[in-house]
Amino acid sequence: MTPAPRRRGPTGRPAGPRSRQNRPESRWSRPVLDGARLTAYDVLHGVSSRDAYANLLLPQLLRERAADLGPRDAAFTTQLAYGTLRATGTLDAVLTGLVSRPLAELQPELLDLLRLGTYQLLDLRVPAHAAVDTTVALARAIVGTGGSGVVNAVLRKVAAGGTREQWVEALGATGDERLSLLTDHPQWVIDAWRDALGPEVADAELEAALLADDEAPEVHLVARAVDRATLIAESDGLPGPWSPYAVRLEGGDPGKLPSVRAGAAGVQDEGSQVAALALVRAPLEGTDARWLDMCAGPGGKAALLAAVRPEGVALTAADRSEHRVGLVASALRDAADVDLHVTDGRTGPWEPGSFDRVLLDAPCTGLGALRRRPEVRWRRTPEDVEPLADLQRELLAAALDAVRPGGVVAYVTCSPHTAETVDVVASVTGRDDVEVLPVAPLFPGVPDAARGGALQLWPHRHGTDAMFVALLRRTR
């Protein structure tokens, strides 16, 4: 078991001894270095120096170094890399007062090392001397003796300041600044979540929502072509509460499960399953034979649609990216009667009114799935929202063109931002050929999820990503 985060909120994991097995042997992990910390550093540096995505780089490094890093060390590496990336704002606020130059002028490798060491001191139950000594050893190998002296001096001051809560107090932060430092969210994301939760949201609920969004998510599986009970028995998981296909696991490597290896099950957030099922459950009059997934890559929802569609339904799946259509093809490799297109959804090759049901899982800021992509909260900016909202409005108009009169469009985002959700839906509800279908009544067991006529899931209420789903019917 990996060291527990020592802060904040109800969902902290229990502490435990870190593995000292599998001492590293190769160059990258000389005995003096700690393999988990070196690998975490490599992830941080990949993200900071070449805009790598941690959720892609980390698994790749863990695979390459599997001979040196056992499962416990791999878990610790994940905690170090993801935790440090999530906490970057707070770590930098602490470090700013402890180094003589602006952080942006520090050698980038040195800054990554300082963040890695500071994260352990602030948030983990790692003894201070271990956090300092291992980071100094890493610094000596990576930036040399001079840099390691800086790391030693700065981390000792960090350790002297105590835990994250003590540091936040020492920094004199109050109100939203305090919330930002405690929950690892930049101010504009806090504003977006507060707005989406509604004007009446209590401060305590907003804090709970942001803290839940700062936790490592559980693994959710989807039982597509295998009975859920079989998947539960195989994985030792629990049934997900909202989707009849969902199984929740505390951890482990789902890629090793036979049903996942066979493609009969997959990894999919339960909120994404609910979003796809909203389209399936929407009431429809007349024929129900042609479905379109307009932005299908990499194919998670398309695979669920293909698995649960009634017999005789043909599925068309499209995406603008050729690479991502390739991923859809692989996700749908066992499905019959599927048509794939590399195309811009706004100008797809289909005739107007071709489909009975259309899923528009729109490209978005991903502000509702920050748990999975730890660095994204610091990479995204408020300026990203408007161009995406423009694209979302155009895609939604195209989706409504693609559906037949009487047919249904599901508009889905993994962002709760009002400009990407409610406002986009409002751009078409003034039309005299569109009506809103309430989504929450289709999921009577899911509490506190109605957002107007749409459905809004939240990590702190539902244990899912913050998915938004609206259903729109073409009336003529």
Ligand X SMILES: C[S@@+](CC[C@H](N)C(=O)[O-])C[C@H]1O[C@@H](n2cnc3c(N)ncnc32)[C@H](O)[C@@H]1O
Using CB under 6 A as the criterion, which residues of the chain lie in contact with ligand X when the complex forms?
272, 295-301, 318-321, 324, 344-346, 361, 363, 395
Can you tell me the distance from the alpha carbon of 144 to that of 146, in angstroms, rounded to the nearest whole number? 6
- Cβ-based nearer residue to ligand X, 7 or 324: 324
Can you tell me the distance from the alpha carbon of 457 to that of 451, in angstroms, rounded to the nearest whole number? 9
Q: How far is the CB of 224 from ligand X (least distance, A)?
A: 13
Q: Single out the catalytic residue among 139, 190, 414, 470.
A: 414
- Cβ-based nearer residue to ligand X, 116 or 196: 196
Is residue 221 helix, strand or coil? strand
Residue 296 assigned ligand-binding role: yes
Q: Is 414 a residue of the active site?
A: yes
Q: How far is the CB of 186 from ligand X (least distance, A)?
A: 22
Residue 301 assigned ligand-binding role: yes
Helix (H) or strand (E) holding 470: strand 468-474
Q: How far is the CB of 296 from ligand X (least distance, A)?
A: 5
Residue 16 assigned ligand-binding role: no
Residue 305 has a CB neighbour count (10 Å cut-off) of 27
Q: Dmax of the chain from CA atoms?
A: 75
Residue 387 assigned ligand-binding role: no
Q: How far is the CB of 304 from ligand X (least distance, A)?
A: 8
Can you tell me the distance from the alpha carbon of 280 to that of 273, in angstroms, rounded to the nearest whole number? 11
- Cβ-based nearer residue to ligand X, 156 or 372: 372
Angle between helices 385-402 and 422-429 (to 10 degrees): 40
Over its C-alpha atoms, the chain yields an Rg (Å, rounded) of 24
Residue 410 has a CB neighbour count (10 Å cut-off) of 27
Residue 299 assigned ligand-binding role: yes
Phi, psi angles (nearest 5°) of residue 236 = 60, 30
In order of 9, 83, 86, 139, the CA distances from 89 in angstroms are 19, 11, 8, 21
Can you tell me the distance from the alpha carbon of 455 to that of 448, in angstroms, rounded to the nearest whole number? 9
Residue 406 assigned ligand-binding role: no
Paired tokens of 294? 């307009």
Residue 256 assigned ligand-binding role: no
State the Cα angle at 345 between 344 and 348, rounded to 5°: 80
Is residue 247 helix, strand or coil? strand
Can you tell me the distance from the alpha carbon of 186 to that of 188, in angstroms, rounded to the nearest whole number? 6
**Residue spans of alpha helices (H) in 161-295:** 164-170, 175-183, 187-197, 203-212, 228-235, 258-261, 270-281
Q: How far is the CB of 46 from ligand X (least distance, A)?
A: 23
Q: Which amino acid is at 420?
A: E
Q: How far is the CB of 255 from ligand X (least distance, A)?
A: 17
Positions annotated as catalytic residues are 414
Annotated binding site for S-adenosyl-L-methionine: 295-301, 319, 344, 361
Annotated binding site: 295-301, 319, 344, 361
